[in-house]
Amino acid sequence: MDRVKRRAYIIGTLAVLLTVQTIQSTGAYSKVVNFQRYYRDLQQGQNSLSPIERIVFSLVLSNSKTDPPKETPVGRT
């Protein structure tokens, strides 16, 4: 019975490791990190957003494909 438990443990560990590797390589991990960052920023900001609104805005921002704003040279507007 110990061999069966050990094999099940090894197979389960390998499945979890492969799942984590797949998530990291597909970019889903970076979207989760972006979502967390946007949610935290909206939570700490001085606004009156409900948790549902923060979730929606965080999802929209983390899935947007807009280019970052270009910096303007100093002294120009």
- Taking the model in full, what pTM does it have? 0.47
* 26-39 pLDDT, tens digit each: 666 677 778 888 88
Q: At what angle do helices 28-44 and 2-26 cross, to 10 degrees?
A: 70
- Dig out the tokens for 54 from the structure: 């923060």
DSSP 8-20: HHHHHHHHHHHHH
* 7-16 pLDDT, tens digit each: 888 888 888 8
Largest Cα separation within the chain, whole Å, is 75
